[in-house]
Amino acid sequence: MPTSRPGIDVLLHEDRVFRPGRNFTAGANQGDPAIYGRAARDPEAFWASMARELTWSRPWKKVLEWTPPHARWFVGGRLNASVNCLDRHLGGATRNKAAIIWEGEPGDDRTLTYAQLHREVCKFANVLKGLGVAKGDRVTLYLPLIPELAIAMLACARIGAVHSVVFGGFSAESLRDRINDAKSTVLVTADGGYRRGAQVPLKRTADEALHGSPCVRHVVVVRRDNFPIDVQEGRDHWWHRLMQHASADCPAEAMDSSDMLYILYTSGTTGKPKGIVHGTGGYMVGAFATARWVFDLKPPDVYWCTADIGWVTGHSYVVYGPLANGATVFIYEGAPDWPDRGRFWELCHKHGVTIFYTAPTAIRAFMRWGIEWPAKHDLSRLRLLGSVGEPINPEAWMWYHKYIGGERCPVVDTWWQTETGMIMITPLPGITPTKPGSATRPFPGVSAEVLDDAGKVIKHGGGYLAITRPWPGMLQTIYGDDARYLQTYWSRWDNKTYFPGDGARRDRQGYFWLLGRVDDVLNVAGHRIGTMEVESALVDHPSVAEAAVVGRTHELKGQALAAFVTPKDGITVDTRLSDELKGHVVKKIGALARPDDIIFTAELPKTRSGKIMRRLLKDIAEGRTLGDMTTLADPSVIHALKQKYQEE
């Protein structure tokens, strides 16, 4: 029987349990189950012990200063993120070990050892200084998945500049808004990138964005592959030219533990994306510790996280976490199905990947493409698999475990967010028995509960996920809007309990089962998309009077966007308009937000006070029986709409 809690239905029941293999446990970076209890008894001592593994130029005086809802971690301590990712590995065997192995979509490749990466980072840090970038200044990075993105991030970190990476799939308008919100003075981009054989004209998009971004004084352009570009003299500079004369000597800025490391924009429930601010000390400790224990990184491993560096997964688990551990990170520029559907498996074999971290949406696509693709390649070096970004359905988990992991690799389903900065709920592969579909339990030193509306703990059953203690990777604020920080994350119950916006269930063993978002944010192919943002983009079109966007279940993407649109009077409704509106959303936000369905309607279902009843629209989009309609102003609207949707 499904159990029910306010607004959250629990339908999933899963009893299979997979215990860590004895060999895995024996060699694991963390194999002692007592760690959970020890960390819970004194979380601050636990985090301090992890922090001591990093390099600090001045020790901290206090582990945590908690003035809810603001936390300061490792108060008084000084460190530099790039030193922890690079310099500290140069003294020993890691010096000439591969830090980054990169392959471009066309098959070109590059390897940078730790010493080489260090050199490039120092040089680019000096380039940035030469362009007038100083500590605290913001630099926007809009690049394909190429090593220069990691180099630029670490170069910013080296001189104390704050990077703001904007995913290369975002439109000119999204890029412009993010540049302006951060008031960046420098933009780093590329002449273009590759996606499924096509050229993505990044510089052209950047030029368009820059018409509305007067704060940018300099643009550095990486030459990816001689794509044609316009150069604005005085403003635009080629990366390789600037690097030619740059010194490789760049002392690292000793940053206060609380100094900002980066801003990363993410979707929220209101129109404007939020600039999530991460600090230096706590964030580095969180990324380092979780990467070490969750992925069990060892010197011979080749680790591949398939996320783009433009998302938080790429920040914490392509760049900062693995490099702080001295790991070898593989990076691939392209898509999994180009030139064929075996591309990822071919790369795993070619580069000897041992640890593979991807998203459920990709796993579902692999399942659909069939086992013949992975079967063509030798995946026997793989020893650990990870999943992130959305709930993983048990069938996908089992498929991943069987056909990619050969039934020998532990699968770690990791729950976290842009805001948390680090993995929060996850198995530890040497310790935690896993259940397909469950992210299992909080990482040591992290406290999570399932709460009801009133903030009462639900021991078994469904409710809202809550984080009940500060954690080192936590966001510091929303850039330029601390009131929104408080309102969004810390006002659901009290100002000491963090509300991530996700529903969750706890089972009898205390395992967490994440149930997806409970707010107006959708998870489409692992990307958080605010319905409000898409609605704003639609209403921006001259033919649209009103729009409401909801998510519906989608076999591959997890969720798809269904847009209910009321056109302005006298507008002819046809497929041309529907295509035009989809194109308009792509132009305003980017292809990731393209609605799958556009349903035209003369009226939207509203309450008597005029609020759009998205809940009923969702019922329609999902093909479900309509829920409670007692507050609806005009029930005939919804019945007509339901019929129309079914017909289409």
Q: Is residue 502 involved in binding ligand PRX (CB under 6 A)?
A: yes
Provide φ and ψ at 587, rounded to 5°.
Answer: -65, -40
Binding mask 137-176 for ligand PRX (x = CB under 6 A): ----------------------------------------
Q: Is residue 523 involved in binding ligand PRX (CB under 6 A)?
A: yes
Q: Which of 189, 213, 328, 414 binds ligand PRX (CB under 6 A)?
A: 414
Q: Is residue 439 involved in binding ligand PRX (CB under 6 A)?
A: yes
Smallest distance, ligand PRX to C-beta of residue 146, A: 21
Q: Greatest CA span in the chain, whole angstroms? A: 74
Q: Is residue 434 involved in binding ligand PRX (CB under 6 A)?
A: no
Cα distances (angstroms) measured from residue 341 to each of 20, 30, 193, 337, 441: 31, 35, 20, 4, 34
- Proportion of the chain in helix, strand, coil states, percent, rounded to 5: 30, 25, 40
Q: Is residue 517 involved in binding ligand PRX (CB under 6 A)?
A: yes
Region near ligand PRX per CB under 6 A, out of 52-60, 232-240, 373-381, 511-519: 511-519
CA separation for the pair 244, 254 (Å, rounded): 27
Residue among 94 and 417 whose Cβ is closer to ligand PRX: 417
Residue among 352 and 461 whose Cβ is closer to ligand PRX: 461
Contacts 24+ apart (CB under 8 A), 349-353: 349/377, 349/378, 349/379, 349/381, 351/101, 351/103, 351/302, 351/304, 352/302, 352/381, 353/302, 353/303, 353/304, 353/381, 353/382
As beta bridge partners, residue 190 has 222
The amino acid occupying position 398 is M
Q: Is residue 8 involved in binding ligand PRX (CB under 6 A)?
A: no
Q: Which of 290, 417, 488, 566 binds ligand PRX (CB under 6 A)?
A: 417
Binding mask 236-275 for ligand PRX (x = CB under 6 A): ------------------------------x---------
Please spell the DSSP secondary structure of 253-321, one letter per residue: P-EETTSEEEEEEE--SSSSPEEEEEESHHHHHHHHHHHHHHS---TT-EEEE-S-TTSHHHIIIIIIH
CA separation for the pair 193, 310 (Å, rounded): 14
Q: Is residue 493 involved in binding ligand PRX (CB under 6 A)?
A: no
| 461-490 positions binding ligand PRX, by CB under 6 A | none
Residue among 374 and 391 whose Cβ is closer to ligand PRX: 391
| 297-326 positions binding ligand PRX, by CB under 6 A | 312-313
Smallest distance, ligand PRX to C-beta of residue 225, A: 29
Q: Is residue 391 involved in binding ligand PRX (CB under 6 A)?
A: yes
Q: Which of 48, 187, 222, 388 binds ligand PRX (CB under 6 A)?
A: 388
Smallest distance, ligand PRX to C-beta of residue 512, A: 9
> Are 265 and 164 spatial neighbours (Cβ–Cβ below 8 Å)?
yes
Smallest distance, ligand PRX to C-beta of residue 12, A: 12
Closest CA to 492 of 434, 526, 523, 453: 453
Q: Where along the sequence are the contacts to ligand PRX (CB under 6 A)?
A: 266, 312-313, 388-391, 413-418, 439, 500-502, 514, 516-517, 523, 528
